[in-house]
């Protein structure tokens, strides 16, 4: 009996990971690309992908927290642009680099705070409040700059912080920042009372209210984390681009939400993990990288991206169906 | 047929007079590129005309008698003008300031008053529809002249322009790749710009080929597929590549006209093709992104004898800074300043004085390299400080 | 009945604040610009906002079952393209219209299959079909110009007029009225409210949840197809990126009109009011000469104010009803708020009323 169930148990344990589908797709994508293009599976390309994915990853981490509490944050792309702009401006007007970087992150967190207040105190739907913030932050950046990119803030240290210069090989500072962010978010979600409350709030808002969870505070903090992540992403992108154009971050909210959901977060709340966000960001970044390397005609790019997205969720669904079936099988065997 | 001939005659005359008036400070930039320009099959008439331009005395434009007579004709008229670029950017900022400069000059000389309204989408969503409704709104408000550069569909815009003309608003396009459409289908008064094929794409391709001695591998980072600019520039670039059989385009990617996408695309392509000799960024922001990718990959930039040649197109102060720093090899300056000054002149001649203007007015464009970057940059910097803003 | 009670009852009607905001905006812009109330401008405004109105009406159904459809913009664009393709190749007008609607339905069927049958997250499925649809439009429009159909009947669909009213407006009115009727007076309409409010309970009560969910996406896709046909007629040309962003406008319009993203709440006319409000703001600001860079800021701020006001009114109504019931010594307070929330269970409102009672 044991001899028969062991492999199936190992299989179901593998599938027990909520990101199993996305991981499977990732493996297939990597293997196929490596076979077709010898330059794909190289250290240099791994460096490219990890540096390119940092932005979507950071935003997806914040988005995951918001999604877990049952919200959604459409403003991250605009917040990223505006906070990068303000941070860069403080440096050009003579503030030391550290002040500039802290300003960028603080502006991000502050805009997140405003989102949170609009949602909890004014009672706006999450979608509407953050959609308004998307418009207001982007409009403010355009009005303020008049369309002219902000330049002149690239102090020598900024090249290191943004990963443009790589004193430690392809493990750049942005990658280190991303790793720290992943670990922190994972720990907060898994091991703190904030994390427990967030999951509880997302899976059953009414029960959370009745059991005395400080709903407003949990929500506001979630949006602040999301805003902070957008600020950090903006800080790195300002360095990577060496200018802050008013279009910076345009459309990134969609990539962030997609990455979080591919990684197992749900729009209804209560589901998601930091690890899942990593997988989701990897799927998106490797797809974009593969499209460029394979030389897919740019007309077809969107079709391919959409196809991969659909595959990712279908894989996820199939793996969870298998998971459910093997669980049923296991209980039946246990009863027998 | 004879009609078009007459129009082009008028255009030549109009342009040469105008360039006498406007070409202050063009200097070495144009002179250095006249040779390259004349290599194209369709040379813009302004190219040679502008180069012959000299400086007029400050304040006076056509001599004191002429100025006084024109001032009488203008009779202090106020002109309501709307200007809608597809997005606000460094490029269109240079152009707007240049326009302000020319407006101030005409106001000082002839007493024409300007009311200027700028309207540009932020790119969040509904960008194209927003520009259509902007032009419709200006038509409803009976503007005298409307200046448009848009990514909206060609046929749709012609309907909008016809509506505007019917209700008395003159429509002009600027920086619009009209050259890929049938001239008699275009329903604007005039189109001020340049030929993206011969005056941008071809120049870039030829510069790469000439610099590399006619042999090498090229990566191209393109704008969004389906965009008219991308289509037109690609025609010219492909022509230059075809004229140099030693040149090979090995890879191509979509950089969406923005830096971060240009950087990512260049990084990915460099992974597969590490032995490239040149990168063509179809606009300057993407070329600068590609430049960062080359630097990050530890590859050598062109130093005059070897390394990777990178060329962009737009003619931005930021791109020229990079050329001065010896990083970006070259860029195609597509005349942001001249376009701004010229469309104001065109409106003045056509709407205020009732003169005829050419349907297609092409400004000079130039390849900017380390040799002529100082002049090109000085010209833009001067335009960025208009006597008056509107 | 006291004045206060009557006021309470009137204000309890959902969507009133947004309707009031719309009226306020119309009055303001009419005073601020002599061009606003001209026939030319009103017909421009209505014709330009038709597409978002139609899509918002279809979106209402999806939102009521607690779903989400991001693909409607891309579906509209691609439907416009297929209509143009058929007409350009000499197809008859009915065939062209059918092709457009069929394209929209195809989106609905694909979305419905993955969401209802495979039970995959609606956001990601429709994001994927958005991407595929927009990409397909790119592929179709690269190389060929989709333009130049000279069928008078085709142009009449949006540019003609019936009894002095633009045809497009009449068609939209018919679509909106039909959809509102379906939502309010058919079993289908009533059941989707049940599904949206509590899918599990609906399932246990024997409601064919899957089939209903599928039909809702099919409906949304079909409506997008219709919008595409009208858009093709309006523009007489199709370009890459057509319809992009319509989905956000449609969702924003519906939510602004009080349709809940959580499902179970909404009506077609309210979504239409929301769409009209957004369009009026954009058009009005344009007419009084505000730089569009301000649009997103002003529109964003006005959305926040309108919805916050809506919520404050609901709170006040709940308080009044609660006070009334206490006076009558009926202690079942939850019953009183339920009578309001039958139409307006704003989650945050109920949530904070819970907080208030503590």
Give the gap in angstroms from C-alpha C132 to the nearest C-alpha of chain A.
4
Residues of A with CB under 8 A from a CB of B: 37, 39-40, 42, 44-45, 48, 51-52, 134-135, 138-139, 142, 145-149, 151, 163-164, 166, 237, 240-243, 245-248, 250, 288-289, 292-293, 295, 297-299, 301
Cβ atoms A123, C316 nearer than 8 A: no
Q: What is the pLDDT of residue C16?
A: 75
Return the SS3 of C161.
strand
Is A205 an interface residue toward C (CB < 8 Å)? yes
CB hemisphere CA count around B63 (13 angstroms): 3
Cβ atoms B335, B33 nearer than 8 A: no
Can you tell me the distance from the alpha carbon of A244 to that of B2, in angstroms, rounded to the nearest whole number? Answer: 51
Average pLDDT over residues B270-294: 92
* B271:A40 CB<8 A: yes
Q: Which two tokens stand for residue C291?
A: 């730089």
* A298:B295 CB<8 A: no
Q: What is the pLDDT of residue A12?
A: 58
Can you tell me the distance from the alpha carbon of A187 to that of A182, in angstroms, rounded to the nearest whole number? Answer: 9
Beta bridge partners of B78: B113
Q: Which two tokens stand for residue B172?
A: 């002009």
Give the gap in angstroms from C-alpha C219 to the nearest C-alpha of chain B.
24
The distance of Cα A174 from the centroid of its chain, to the nearest Å, equals 14
Helices (H), chain A: 2-15, 20-36, 43-68, 76-92, 97-120, 126-145, 156-161, 173-191, 193-203, 205-210, 215-241, 252-262, 274-294, 301-335
Cβ atoms A93, C278 nearer than 8 A: no
* B140:C38 CB<8 A: yes
Q: Name the residue ranges covered by the structural domains of chain B.
A: 2-31+43-194+336-364, 197-333
Q: Are B2-31+43-194+336-364 and B197-333 the same fold in CATH?
A: yes
Cβ atoms C224, C107 nearer than 8 A: yes
Is B389 an interface residue toward C (CB < 8 Å)? no
Is B136 an interface residue toward C (CB < 8 Å)? yes
Average pLDDT over residues B217-234: 88
Give the tens place of pLDDT for each residue, C211-270. Answer: 999 999 999 999 999 999 999 998 888 877 788 888 888 988 888 887 877 778 888 998
Please name which of B95, B146, B187 lies closest in space to residue B379, comparing C-alpha atoms. Answer: B95
Class of domain B197-333: alpha beta
Q: Enumerate neighbours of C (3 or more CB pairs within 8 A).
A: A, B
Give the tens place of pLDDT for each residue, B306-333. Answer: 999 999 999 999 899 999 999 999 999 9
The answer, yes or no, to whether residue B354 has pLDDT greater than 70, is: yes
Give the tens place of pLDDT for each residue, B37-61. Answer: 333 333 333 333 333 333 344 567 7
Please name which of C214, C83, C243, C56 lies closest in space to residue C155, comparing C-alpha atoms. Answer: C83
Give the tens place of pLDDT for each residue, C168-185. Answer: 999 999 999 999 999 989
The answer, yes or no, to whether residue B3 has pLDDT greater than 70, is: no
Give the gap in angstroms from C-alpha B153 to the nearest C-alpha of chain C.
6
* C291:B136 CB<8 A: no
* C142:B141 CB<8 A: no
Contacts of B155 in chain C (CB under 8 A): 145, 147-148, 235-237
The answer, yes or no, to whether residue C133 has pLDDT greater than 60, is: yes
Can you tell me the distance from the alpha carbon of B151 to that of B230, in angstroms, rounded to the nearest whole number? Answer: 11
Can you tell me the distance from the alpha carbon of C33 to that of C305, in angstroms, rounded to the nearest whole number? Answer: 23
Mean pLDDT rounded to a whole number for chain A: 88
* B252:A295 CB<8 A: yes
The answer, yes or no, to whether residue B225 has pLDDT greater than 80, is: no
Q: What is the pLDDT of residue C346?
A: 38
Of C38, C41, C138, Cβ closest to residue B225: C138
The answer, yes or no, to whether residue C14 has pLDDT greater than 80, is: no
How much of chain B is in helix, strand and coil states, percent to nearest 5?
Answer: 50, 15, 35
Contacts of B93 in chain A (CB under 8 A): 146-148
Helices (H), C65-166: 72-88, 93-112, 122-141, 152-159
Q: Which residue of A has its CA nearest to C350?
A: A206
Contacts of C299 in chain A (CB under 8 A): 132, 135
Average pLDDT over residues B98-103: 96
Give the tens place of pLDDT for each residue, A126-176. Answer: 888 998 899 899 989 988 988 888 988 989 889 888 888 777 777 889 999
The answer, yes or no, to whether residue C1 has pLDDT greater than 90, is: no
Give the tens place of pLDDT for each residue, B205-214. Answer: 999 999 999 9
Give the gap in angstroms from C-alpha C234 to the nearest C-alpha of chain B.
9
Q: Which two tokens stand for residue C300?
A: 């964003």
Q: What is the pLDDT of residue B17?
A: 35
* A299:C293 CB<8 A: no
Q: Which residue of A has its CA nearest to B85?
A: A147
What confidence category does residue B84 fall into, taking pLDDT thresholds of 50, 70 and 90? Answer: very high
Residue written as tokens 């322009």? Answer: B161
Average pLDDT over residues B260-278: 90
C50, C149, C241, best to mutate vs chain B, most B CBs in 10 Å: C241
Q: Does residue B191 come out as left (phi exceeding 0), alpha (psi in the -120 to 50 range) or beta?
A: beta
Percent share of chain C, pLDDT over 90: 35
Give the tens place of pLDDT for each residue, A79-108. Answer: 999 999 999 999 999 999 999 999 999 999
Percent share of chain A, pLDDT over 70: 94
Q: What is the pLDDT of residue A324?
A: 79
* A293:B268 CB<8 A: yes
* C261:A209 CB<8 A: no
* B264:A288 CB<8 A: yes
* B125:C142 CB<8 A: no
Q: Which two tokens stand for residue C11?
A: 């204000």
- B2-31+43-194+336-364: CATH topology: Rossmann fold (3.40.50)
Contacts of A297 in chain B (CB under 8 A): 225
Of C40, C48, C240, Cβ closest to residue B140: C40
Mean pLDDT rounded to a whole number for chain B: 83
A74, A77, A147, A289, best to mutate vs chain B, most B CBs in 10 Å: A147
Is B151 an interface residue toward A (CB < 8 Å)? no
> Rg for chain A (alpha carbons), in Å?
21
Domains of chain C plus CATH, in order, are 1-16+301-358 (no CATH), 33-289 (1.10.3470)
When mean pLDDT is compared across B215-229, C23-37, C134-148, the lowest value belongs to C134-148
Percent share of chain C, pLDDT over 70: 86
Cα–Cα distances (Å) from B18 to B60, B74, B99, in that order, read 14, 18, 14
Contacts of B128 in chain C (CB under 8 A): 239, 241
Give the tens place of pLDDT for each residue, C280-318. Answer: 988 888 788 777 777 778 777 877 877 777 777 777 777
Please name which of C77, C76, C98, C75 lies closest in space to residue C87, comparing C-alpha atoms. Answer: C98
Dihedral sign for Cα atoms in the order A193, A197, A198, A200: positive
* A/C interface, count of CB pairs below 8 Å: 150
Average pLDDT over residues A108-123: 94
* C141:B226 CB<8 A: yes
Q: Enumerate neighbours of A (3 or more CB pairs within 8 A).
A: B, C
Q: Which contacts (CB < 8 Å, 24+ apart) does range B346-349 have? A: B346/B14, B346/B172, B346/B190, B346/B192, B347/B79, B347/B81, B347/B145, B347/B147, B347/B170, B347/B172, B348/B106, B348/B110, B348/B112, B349/B14, B349/B18
Q: What is the pLDDT of residue C97?
A: 96
More reliable by pLDDT, B92 or A298: B92
Can you tell me the distance from the alpha carbon of B317 to that of B321, in angstroms, rounded to the nearest whole number? Answer: 6
Contacts of A151 in chain B (CB under 8 A): 318
Give the tens place of pLDDT for each residue, C68-114. Answer: 899 999 999 999 999 999 999 888 999 999 999 999 999 999 999 99
Q: Enumerate neighbours of B (3 or more CB pairs within 8 A).
A: A, C
Q: Which residues contact A71 (CB under 8 A, 6 or more apart)?
A: A119, A126, A219, A222, A223, A269
Q: Which residue of C has its CA nearest to A251?
A: C245
Q: Which residues contact B158 (CB under 8 A, 6 or more apart)?
A: B185, B186, B187
A126, A136, A146, best to mutate vs chain C, most C CBs in 10 Å: A136
Give the tens place of pLDDT for each residue, A201-240. Answer: 998 888 888 888 899 999 999 999 999 999 999 999 999 9
Of C296, C346, C351, Cβ closest to residue A215: C351
Q: What is the pLDDT of residue C268?
A: 92
Please name which of C306, C179, C226, C259 lies closest in space to residue C51, comparing C-alpha atoms. Answer: C226
Contacts of B118 in chain C (CB under 8 A): 291
B330-333 and B366-368 beta bridge pairing = antiparallel
Beta bridge partners of B251: B219
Q: Name the residue ranges covered by the structural domains of chain A.
A: 53-278
* B297:A44 CB<8 A: yes
Q: What is the pLDDT of residue A61?
A: 97
The answer, yes or no, to whether residue B366 has pLDDT greater than 90, is: yes
Q: Which residue of A has its CA nearest to C315?
A: A123
Of B90, B252, B297, Cβ closest to residue A149: B90
């Amino acid at each position: 009996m044991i001899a028969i169930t062991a492999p199936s148990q190992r299989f179901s344990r593998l599938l027990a990971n909520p990101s199993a589908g996305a991981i499977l797709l990732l493996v297939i994508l990597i293997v196929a690309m490596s076979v077709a293009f010898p330059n794909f599976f190289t250290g240099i390309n791994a460096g490219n992908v990890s540096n390119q994915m940092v932005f979507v990853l950071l935003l997806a981490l914040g988005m995951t927290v918001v999604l877990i509490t049952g919200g959604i944050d459409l403003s991250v792309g605009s917040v990223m642009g505006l906070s990068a702009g303000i941070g860069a401006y403080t440096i050009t007007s003579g503030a030391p680099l550290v002040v500039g970087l802290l300003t960028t992150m603080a502006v991000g967190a502050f805009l997140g705070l405003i989102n949170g207040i609009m949602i909890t105190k004014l009672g706006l739907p999450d979608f509407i409040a953050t959609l308004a913030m998307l418009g207001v932050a982007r409009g403010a950046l355009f009005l303020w700059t008049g369309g002219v990119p902000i330049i002149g803030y690239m102090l020598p240290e900024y090249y290191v912080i943004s990963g443009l210069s790589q004193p430690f090989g392809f493990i750049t500072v942005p990658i280190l920042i991303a790793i720290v962010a992943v670990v922190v978010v994972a720990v907060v979600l898994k091991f703190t009372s904030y994390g427990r409350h967030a999951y509880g709030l997302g899976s059953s808002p009414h029960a959370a209210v009745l059991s005395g969870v400080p709903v407003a505070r949990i929500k506001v903090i979630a949006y602040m984390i999301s805003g902070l992540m957008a600020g950090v992403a903006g800080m790195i992108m300002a360095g990577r681009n060496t200018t802050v154009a008013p279009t910076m971050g345009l459309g990134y909210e969609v990539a962030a939400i997609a990455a979080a959901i591919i990684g197992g977060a749900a729009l209804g709340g209560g589901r998601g993990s930091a690890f899942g966000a990593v997988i989701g960001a990897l799927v998106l970044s490797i797809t974009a990288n593969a499209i460029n390397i394979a030389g897919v005609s740019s007309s077809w790019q969107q079709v391919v991206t959409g196809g991969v997205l659909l595959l990712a969720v279908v894989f996820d669904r199939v793996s969870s169906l298998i998971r459910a079936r093997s669980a049923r099988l296991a209980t039946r065997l246990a009863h027998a | 047929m004879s009609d078009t001939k007459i129009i082009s005659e008028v255009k030549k005359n109009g342009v040469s007079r105008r360039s006498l008036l406007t070409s202050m400070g063009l200097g070495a930039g144009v002179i250095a590129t006249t040779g390259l320009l004349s290599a194209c099959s369709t040379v813009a008439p302004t190219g040679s005309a502008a180069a012959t331009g000299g400086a007029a005395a400050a304040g006076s434009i056509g001599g004191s008698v002429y100025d006084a007579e024109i001032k009488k004709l203008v009779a202090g008229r106020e002109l309501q003008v709307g200007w809608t670029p597809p997005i606000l950017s460094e490029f269109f900022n240079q152009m707007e300031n240049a326009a302000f400069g020319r407006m101030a000059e005409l106001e000082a000389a002839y007493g024409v008053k300007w009311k200027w309204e700028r309207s540009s989408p932020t790119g969040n969503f509904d960008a194209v529809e927003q520009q259509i409704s902007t032009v419709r709104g200006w038509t409803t408000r009976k503007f005298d002249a409307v200046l448009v550069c848009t990514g909206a569909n060609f046929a749709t815009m012609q309907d909008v322009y016809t509506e505007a003309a019917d209700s008395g608003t003159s429509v002009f396009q600027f920086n619009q790749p009209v050259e890929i459409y049938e001239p008699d289908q275009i329903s604007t008064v005039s189109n001020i710009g340049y030929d993206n094929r011969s005056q941008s794409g071809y120049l870039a391709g030829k510069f790469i080929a000439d610099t590399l001695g006619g042999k090498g591998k090229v990566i191209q980072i393109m704008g969004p597929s389906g965009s008219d600019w991308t289509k037109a520039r690609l025609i010219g670039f492909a022509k230059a590549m075809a004229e140099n059989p030693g040149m090979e385009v090995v890879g191509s990617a979509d950089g969406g006209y923005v830096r971060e996408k240009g950087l990512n695309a260049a990084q990915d392509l460099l992974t597969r093709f590490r032995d490239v000799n040149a990168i063509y960024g179809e606009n300057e922001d993407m070329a600068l992104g590609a430049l960062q990718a080359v630097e990050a990959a530890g590859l050598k930039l062109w130093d005059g004898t070897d390394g990777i040649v990178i060329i962009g197109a737009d003619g931005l102060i930021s791109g020229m800074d990079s050329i001065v720093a010896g990083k970006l090899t070259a860029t195609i300056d597509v005349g942001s300043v001249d376009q701004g000054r010229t469309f104001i002149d065109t409106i003045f001649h056509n709407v205020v004085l009732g003169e005829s203007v050419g349907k297609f007015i092409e400004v000079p464009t130039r390849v900017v390299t380390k040799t002529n970057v100082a002049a090109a940059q000085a010209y833009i910097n001067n335009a960025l400080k208009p006597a008056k803003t509107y | 009945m006291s004045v206060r009670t009557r006021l309470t009852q009137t204000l309890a009607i959902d969507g009133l604040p947004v309707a009031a905001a719309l009226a306020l905006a119309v009055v303001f812009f009419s005073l601020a610009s002599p061009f606003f109330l001209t026939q030319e401008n009103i017909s421009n405004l209505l014709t330009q906002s038709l597409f978002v109105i139609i899509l918002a009406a279809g979106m209402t159904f999806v939102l009521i079952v607690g779903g989400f459809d991001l693909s409607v913009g891309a579906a509209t664009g691609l439907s416009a393209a297929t209509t143009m393709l058929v007409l350009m190749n000499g197809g008859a007008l009915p065939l062209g219209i059918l092709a457009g609607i069929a394209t929209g339905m195809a989106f609905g069927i694909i979305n419905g299959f993955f969401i209802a049958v495979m039970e995959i997250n609606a956001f990601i499925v429709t994001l994927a079909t958005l991407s595929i649809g927009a990409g397909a439009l790119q592929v179709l429009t690269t190389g060929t110009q989709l333009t130049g159909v000279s069928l008078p009947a085709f142009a009449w669909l949006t540019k003609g007029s019936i009894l002095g009213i633009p045809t497009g407006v009449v068609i939209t009115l018919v679509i909106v009225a039909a959809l509102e009727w379906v939502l309010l007076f058919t079993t289908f309409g009533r059941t989707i409210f049940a599904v949206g409010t509590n899918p599990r309970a609906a399932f246990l009560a024997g409601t064919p949840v899957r089939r209903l969910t599928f039909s809702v996406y099919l409906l949304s896709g079909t409506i997008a197809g219709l919008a595409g046909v009208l858009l093709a007629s309006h523009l007489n040309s199709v370009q890459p990126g057509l319809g992009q962003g319509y989905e956000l406008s449609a969702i924003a319009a519906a939510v602004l009109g009080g349709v809940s993203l959580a499902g179970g709440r909404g009506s077609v006319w309210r979504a239409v009011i929301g769409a009209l409000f957004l369009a009026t703001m954009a058009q009005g600001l344009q007419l009084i000469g505000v730089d569009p860079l301000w649009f997103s800021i002003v529109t964003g701020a006005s959305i926040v104010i309108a919805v916050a006001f809506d919520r404050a009114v609901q709170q006040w109504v709940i308080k009044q009803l609660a006070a009334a019931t206490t006076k009558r010594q009926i202690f079942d307070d939850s019953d009183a708020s339920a009578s309001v929330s039958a139409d307006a269970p704003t989650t945050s409102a109920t949530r904070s009323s819970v907080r208030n009672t503590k």
